[in-house]
Amino acid sequence: MSFEDELDAILVKGKEKAAQDILKAVEDAYGEIPYVFQFMKDNPEIFITKVLHNNAIQRNSGLDARTIELISVAVSAAMRCSHCLKLHIRIASNMGIPDNQIAAAVFLAANLVSASVLATATRNIDEERDVCRACEINSQACEIHGGRKGSER
């Protein structure tokens, strides 16, 4: 359904009926209604705009539903949102995505989280010790120090 069609349906039905219909469509698509949507349903204006926002992102992503779901698994794992992760693993499984692809998404997320930990921690260690790796590698590479740190040693 296009964005305009979604808006027209909301205007014709009214926000309460539109929210009920959206919940039904979500349940039909996912096999369940996510907890956050259940929580938001009593605030139709907030719930409807959240769903419209989600739909617009997905519709304009150029990604297929399976890829979006694997990304959702990976991000849920990286964010350590166990509720989200359980939901997206179930949805991915219901979509027929093989377990090895779901696991691969989790492994990729873990790898990126590990890289983030290392990137942040090593930079903080160097900063605390007044070390500039860019200056050490190439005196012209550092935009902050312009090679001064490397020449000070």
Burial 116-132 (b: 16+ CB within 10 A, else e): eeeeeeeeeeeeeeeeb
10 Å Cβ neighbour count for 110?
13
Residue that has been written with the tokens 């349940």 in this structure: 27
Residue 30 lies in a domain: yes
Residue 92 lies in a domain: no
Task: Round the average pLDDT of the chain to a whole number and report it.
Answer: 89
The whole-model pTM stands at 0.76
- Residue 9's domain comprises 1-62
Residue 5 lies in a domain: yes
Residue 46 lies in a domain: yes
Residue 43 lies in a domain: yes
Q: What is the pLDDT of residues 76-121, one digit of tens each?
A: 999 999 999 999 999 999 999 999 999 999 999 999 999 999 999 9
HSE at residue 49, side-chain half, CA atoms within 13 A, is 3
Number of domains in the chain: 1
Who wins on pLDDT, 3 or 108? 108
Q: What is the pLDDT of residues 55-86, one digit of tens each?
A: 999 999 999 999 999 999 999 999 999 999 99
Residue 69 lies in a domain: no
Residue 105 lies in a domain: no
Asked if 149 contacts 137 with a C-beta cutoff of 8 angstroms, the reply is: no
Residue 153 lies in a domain: no
